[in-house]
Amino acid sequence: MKKIIYPFIFLLAILVFPGCAKEEVDTQQILKVGAILSLTGNGASYGVPAKDAITLALDEFEALNPHKKVEVFFEDSQFDPQTALSALQSLQARDVKYFVSNGSSVSVALKGPVVQKDDFLIEVGAVTPLYKDGEKNTCRLALTADVSGQKVGQFISNKLHAKNIAFLTLNDEYGTAMYHNIKKQLDASGVDTKIAQTLGKDDGDFRTQITKIIAQQDFLDAVVVIPTAGQAERVFKQLQELGWKKPIISDNWTIINQNLHDRSLVEGVYFSNYDWSTDETEADNILQKQFKKNFQEHFHYAPPVIAGNAYDAMWRILDGWNRGKNVPEQLATFIIESKNAEGVTGKLLFDEDCESKRDVRIDQVIDENFEKIY
């Protein structure tokens, strides 16, 4: 791939990662990073932008540090934990000790083997609370289900004033985590879950589940819908075709994805979202503006938030390694103790478990655009 060299990266180095331009060159060291991402199938809309963002970060780093050697090995998890685990084991056999991943079920499968070998993993998309393990070598830069679930539940009860809800969610770790955390808040608010239907990540037809929900539509106030990105368009089309007329609530991974080509299908849908706009806005700072511009120019699409997460995660690895943090535990400590790091997704503050809190909001699809409403 053609190397990307932007004047912006030198500003990046000075303002955000000053160590990048000042460390002594060590041509003997090679940093190996394994990126285990969902590059094909129904999760490709998550993994491909993450891969592109990691590539962008790497090219910028190499432009600043031409004598430093970094190798990134991209592996396709297929959004499947067993496939991801096989990829991890293969990479570990090649002496790879630093990893980036996306996906709740994948992250849960990978964390144990990473900790056992004292390696390092940073997750850029998983919502599941099960990833939290008290181990600082397993970091996360992503909005979690406990945070977004609470917000969604509050919105349903306080703003929609709903009393009876249906769920149509994935049966994997991602969907289960969202279901339980939204329902927890709804239960506390006195909102009743009348019916809950699940779908598999590889399912292609959802009419059986939707028909069961539609049969109770007269007694329902809204439905929560969380499929994979690759299923989103068909799910919403079938909801429409089968006659669902009431509010729909979803999340950013479902609504903001490249597989959802027809936004008219989700017109009016409410969804939890990061405090992030895919397109450039007046509120963006210089880092965000330049990242979005560079990403768009090179990859020909606007970066979703997972691209921002992956870009920031890769730069944290690169910056720490470039400052001599060349043991996984040292890198994790560096990330946790860095309190002034600013990334394209905002402040990069990590707690002692190496978890970074992300803010959440509720948006609505209005005239095929996304508007913050809560």
pLDDT digits (tens, 9 = 90+) for 288-308: 999 999 999 999 999 999 999
- Which of the following CATH numbers is that of domain 8-145+280-360: 3.20.20.70, 1.10.3720.10, 3.40.50.150, 3.40.50.2300? 3.40.50.2300
CA 179 to chain centroid, in Å, comes to 17
Q: How confident is the model at residue 16 (pLDDT cuts 50, 70, 90)?
A: low
Of 125, 67, 58, 92, the C-alpha closest to 319 is 58
pLDDT tens, position by position, 97-114: 999 999 999 999 999 999
Neighbours of 338 (CB within 10 A): 16
- pLDDT at res. 14: 45
Q: What share of the chain is helix, strand, coil (3-state, %, to 5)?
A: 45, 20, 35
Helix 104-116 to helix 81-93 angle (10° resolution) is 30
Q: State yes or no: pLDDT of 8 exceeds 80.
A: no
Mean pLDDT confidence for 275-291: 92
Helix 8-15 to helix 44-64 angle (10° resolution) is 80
Of 254, 232, 217, 222, the C-alpha closest to 155 is 222
Query: For strand 369-372 and strand 360-366, is the pairing parallel, antiparallel, or unpaired?
Result: antiparallel
The mean of the pLDDT values for the chain is 93
- Collapse the DSSP code of 11 into the 3-class scheme (helix H, G, I; strand E, B; otherwise coil) and give the result: helix
Q: How far apart are CA 368 and CA 358, in angstroms?
A: 25
Of 361, 341, 342, the C-alpha closest to 288 is 342
- pLDDT at res. 29: 81
pLDDT tens, position by position, 155-180: 999 999 999 999 999 999 999 999 99
Kindly list the domain boundaries of the chain, sorted by start residue: 8-145+280-360, 147-274+361-372
CATH 3.40.50.300 given to domain 147-274+361-372: no
Q: How confident is the model at residue 21 (pLDDT cuts 50, 70, 90)?
A: very low
Instruction: State the distance between the two ends of the chain, measured CA to CA, in whole angstroms.
Output: 42
Q: Buried b / exposed e across 244-282, counting CB within 10 Å, b at 16+?
A: beebbbbbbbbbbbebbeebebbeebbbbbbebbbeeee
Q: How confident is the model at residue 28 (pLDDT cuts 50, 70, 90)?
A: low
Q: How confident is the model at residue 10 (pLDDT cuts 50, 70, 90)?
A: very low
- pLDDT at res. 25: 45
What percent of the chain clears pLDDT 90, i.e. is strictly above it?
87
Q: 314 near 57, Cβ under 8 Å?
A: yes
Tell which wins on pLDDT, 357 or 90.
Answer: 90
